Amino acid sequence: MFTNFDCTAYYVKDKKTLIRSFEILPEYLKTKTQGLVNDYRDWGIQLGRRFRALKLWFVIRSYGTDGLINRIREHVAYAKWLEGQSI
């Protein structure tokens, strides 16, 4: 959503790979529910608390809801094209 890591939708085939990329789990934070529930702290880079809502507000104000809808549709089309490419 044009706000770097602060407000991003992830579409991944294997969420475990994404989580392993960002996971930092010291012994004192391990719980009995580990693996049974989604722990979203491991889904992205955490760089402290910043003005997340303000950034999103500026994006919505700049693009408008119709502009964001069009951009998301473009990005979905890019993802479909990329999915069809052979690696």
Examine residue 45 and state whether it is found in any structural domain, yes or no.
Answer: yes
pLDDT at 87: 66
Examine residue 5 and state whether it is found in any structural domain, yes or no.
Answer: no
Examine residue 54 and state whether it is found in any structural domain, yes or no.
Answer: yes
Q: Are 55 and 47 in contact (CB under 8 A)?
A: no
pLDDT tens sequence for the chain (87 residues): 677 656 666 677 888 887 777 777 767 777 787 778 777 766 666 655 566 677 778 888 999 999 999 998 999 999 899 988 876
Q: Are 55 and 1 in contact (CB under 8 A)?
A: no
Examine residue 6 and state whether it is found in any structural domain, yes or no.
Answer: no
In sequence order, what are the residues at sequence separation of 6 or more whose Cβ sits closer than 8 angstroms to the Cβ of residue 33? none
Alpha-carbon distance of 9 to 44, in angstroms, equals: 10
pLDDT at 67: 94
Global confidence as pTM: 0.48
Domain holding 39, by residue range, is 15-84
Examine residue 9 and state whether it is found in any structural domain, yes or no.
Answer: no
Split into its structural domains, the chain has a count of 1
Q: Which two tokens stand for residue 65?
A: 């809801």
Q: Is 34 helix (H, G, I), strand (E, B) or coil?
A: strand
